[in-house]
Amino acid sequence: MDAFPYLCPMASFEDFKFNKQILNAIAEAGYETPTEIQQKAITPILAGQDVMGIAQTGTGKTAAFVLPMLMKLKYAQGNDPRALILSPTRELAMQIEENIRLFSTYLDLRTVVLYGGLGPKTQKEQLAAGCDIIVATPGRFLDLYLEGDIHTKSLKFLVMDEADKMMDMGFISKIHRILEIVPRKRQNLLFSATMSELVRKISGDFLAFPTVVEVTEQATPAKTVSQTLYFVPNLKTKLNLLQHLLKDDESFNRLIVFCKTRAVADNVFRFLERKYGEENVRVIHANKGQNTRINSINAFKEGNIRILVATDVAARGLDVSNVSHVFNFDVPIVTEDYVHRIGRTGRAFNNGDAITFCNPAEEYYLKKIEKLIRQSIPVAEVPEDVFVEKTGFEERQEIAREIDAQKRRENPDFKGAFHEKKYAPKPTQKNNKGRKPTSKKTKRR
Dump pLDDT digits (tens) for 274-316: 999 889 999 988 777 767 877 888 888 888 999 999 987 655 5
pLDDT tier at 421, thresholds 50, 70, 90: very low
Strand-by-strand arrangement of the 225-231 sheet:
225-231, 352-358, 325-328, 255-258, 307-310, 281-284
pLDDT digits (tens, 9 = 90+) for 93-106: 988 998 999 999 99
Give the rounded distance of the alpha carbon of 328 from its chain centre.
14
pLDDT score, position 307: 94
Domains present along the chain, CATH in parentheses: 5-214 (3.40.50.300), 225-391 (3.40.50.300)
The tens digit of pLDDT for each residue in 205-243 reads: 888 889 999 886 555 676 788 999 999 999 999 999 999
CA distances from 150 to 11, 79, 130, 146 (A): 40, 10, 10, 8
- Note the pLDDT of residue 314: 56
Alpha-carbon span 230 to 241, nearest angstrom = 9
Largest CA distance in the chain: 102
DSSP assignment letter at 313: G
Do residues 144 and 150 touch, judged by C-beta distance below 8 A? yes
**Alpha helices (runs of H) in 47-132, residue ranges in sequence order:** 61-73, 90-103, 121-128
